[in-house]
Amino acid sequence: MILKGTLRSIITVSVFTLLSRITGLARDIVIAKNIGANSLSDAFWIAFRIPNMLRKIFAEGSFAQAFIPTLSLARSESKSENSLSENIHNLITRMALLLTTSLIVITILGLIFTPLIIKIFASGICKNTNDTNQFNATVLMTRIMFPYVILISLTAFASCILNTWKKFSVPAITPALLNISMVLTCLIFAKETIQPIYALSIGVIVGGIAQLSIQWIAISKINLQPSVSFDFARAYNDKYVKNIIRKMMPALIGVSISQISLLINTNIATWLAPGSLTWLTLADRIVDLPTALIGLALGTVMLPDLSRSYVSKNQDKYNLLINNSLKIILLFGVPSMVCMVAIPNGLVTVLFHYGEFNQIDVCNTKSAVLAYSIGLLGMMTIKILSSAFYAMQDTLTPTKTALISLFLAQTLNIFLVPLYSHIGIAISYSVGATLNSIFMLFLLKRNNVFKSYKNGWIIILLRLIPASILMGVFLNFFDHKINWIELQSNVIQRFSILSSILIVGFIIYVALLFICGMRSKDFFNLFITKKEY
């Protein structure tokens, strides 16, 4: 029996996430064209990362990982429709009160101590005491964008509610609003009145308001919006709220570890050549596309299902969900990794080689893409494996694996950065992500929480490995055959050629899977609830 709504939900999230990532690439193209890769572009990415780092720590990361399973638990423990409505509404209202209060305090402190935060977060920009322009620009942009922490964290809060109720489309499309806002403000205001980097900063706040508004409308339509309340005593004493706070602590540490890794890498990049942070950021955008489309989409859709399976003690379904999710990641992740290794010149040049973004920037970004692609499968599988732990309300184990991976990755930085500059940072990050996913998979299997069905794994590997290799040979041939730089003057032609090559490459991959014995039913069997392997 096909798992109800799962395939549809994954497709919905992936399609809207694709739209979001396309608008994100459009934003990055506008930034690369108007600003290039230099000290000012680095200043913008530093300022933009700070509120996003706090958002991942306090909202989308630790909070979501504790809130969604607890919300699912509250639903399952309600004995009637009336008690369900009351329990859920009280939980949502009380969490909204505590979350909003915390965010306001964090934002006020952030605005006051912005210069100190910049010195900690990006110490390298303070190295040239004769040139304070980059530091001052970073401080100003950070202060403009800091209130975004409140807006995006409350947006993430609403997304958790919608995802728990399997309303995936609005949360998936919401990030596109930020990208569209940044592009429009940059194009409209930059030439006339405001420098592009400051126009982008204003666009972040406008986009945050739009994101929160559309999410709030969505939860209001299903009558799950929080009420206005200032009853802190009841909020702190609510059993579900206590459970969320208790589960958040290990997850907070775990998410903080990944953000500490980002903080350290950002700090290191600010000590390297101007533009290094921009090269790494744009390379990360390319690698993030399959990670978000497949890994994030699967993690988002599967977490509520995994939570329900674990709460109902349905171990077979729990195992099958993880097995099939990992197989889907292999089917899409391996060819994505091969694509980035095989045609990096085309990808980077077509996307970013415009205006202020020169040929040297293309070469440096391409090198970072190759380094990041090493860890693509690790980055994707982390989304599923961490969800498997969070579904069991175990936030401590992913924290431990993240801490070990952080230590190993930063140890690698010590040796690789002096040799390979910004490329060393990307390699270390990739190795850390891969090790983190291996550690989590090992612990799931060692504790007998997860069992893999070996026959299915062997068959799928025998099919996708030769298909991916031959697709890669085709893509790499054209990556070296075409002079992508010379096509700069004809943007439409350059995009058309790259798109055509990628589409043909995908057709080759699918055709070779078919030749190797895979049929459409094999793919759709990844969305069944009955064990067949």
pLDDT digits (tens, 9 = 90+) for 374-402: 999 998 888 788 878 877 777 788 888 98
CA 124 – CA 116 distance, rounded (Å): 13
- Determine the pLDDT at residue 501: 94
pLDDT tens column, 392-430: 777 788 888 988 998 999 999 999 999 999 999 999 999
Distance of alpha carbon 424 from the chain centroid: 21
pLDDT tens column, 91-121: 888 888 888 898 899 899 999 999 998 888 8
Q: Is 2 helix (H, G, I), strand (E, B) or coil?
A: strand
pLDDT tens column, 474-523: 999 999 998 888 776 677 888 899 999 999 999 999 999 888 877 777 66
Question: What's the half-sphere exposure (Cβ side, CA atoms, 13 Å) at 323?
Answer: 28
pLDDT tens column, 278-320: 899 899 889 888 887 776 667 666 666 777 777 777 777 777 7
Reported pTM: 0.77
CA 222 – CA 241 distance, rounded (Å): 22
Q: Is 149 helix (H, G, I), strand (E, B) or coil?
A: helix
With a CB cutoff of 8 Å and minimum separation 6, the contacts of 5 are: 166
Confidence category of residue 84, pLDDT binned at 50, 70, 90: low
Contact 306, 49 (CB under 8 A): no
- 506-513 long-range CB contacts below 8 Å, 24 or more apart? 506/335, 506/471, 508/467, 508/470, 508/471, 508/474, 509/335, 509/467, 509/468, 509/471, 510/467, 512/466, 512/467, 512/470, 512/471, 513/463, 513/464, 513/467
Q: Which amino acid is at 522?
A: D
CA 78 – CA 70 distance, rounded (Å): 12
Contact 58, 105 (CB under 8 A): no
